[in-house]
Amino acid sequence: MTRDWHDASVELLDPYPVTGSDGRPTTSVPTARVALEGGFAHLDIPGTGVVQIVSAPAVRRITYRAQDGAAGGA
């Protein structure tokens, strides 16, 4: 299955930090490539070299602009 990636900003709930581009734990990611799949958000944060996965309950907000005629946001 091919993931549908979006350039987005991500806000997580406080008890669920990820590693930010500066190498520190963060719950606010201003720029990342994000794909949603099976109740999980896959976060490709620039500078980390890895894709981090968080469960849907950890996500406060994901914001992105519709691309290529796609509808909505997540």
Residue 66 has what pLDDT? 82
Q: Give the chain's radius of gyration (CA, Å).
A: 12
Supply 35's token pair. 């794909």
What would the pLDDT profile of 11-31 be if each residue is shown by its tens digit?
999 999 999 999 999 999 999
| CA nearest to 41, candidates 24, 58, 64 | 58
User: Over the chain, what is the mean pLDDT?
Assistant: 91
Burial of 29 (0-12, 13-18, 19+ CB in 10 A): buried
Q: Cα torsion for 37, 53, 62, 47, to the nearest 10°?
A: -130
Q: What is the pLDDT of residue 1?
A: 66
Q: What is the pLDDT along the chain (74 residues), one digit of tens a residue?
A: 688 999 999 999 999 999 999 999 999 999 999 999 999 999 999 999 999 999 999 999 999 988 654 555 44
The single-letter DSSP state of residue 28 is E
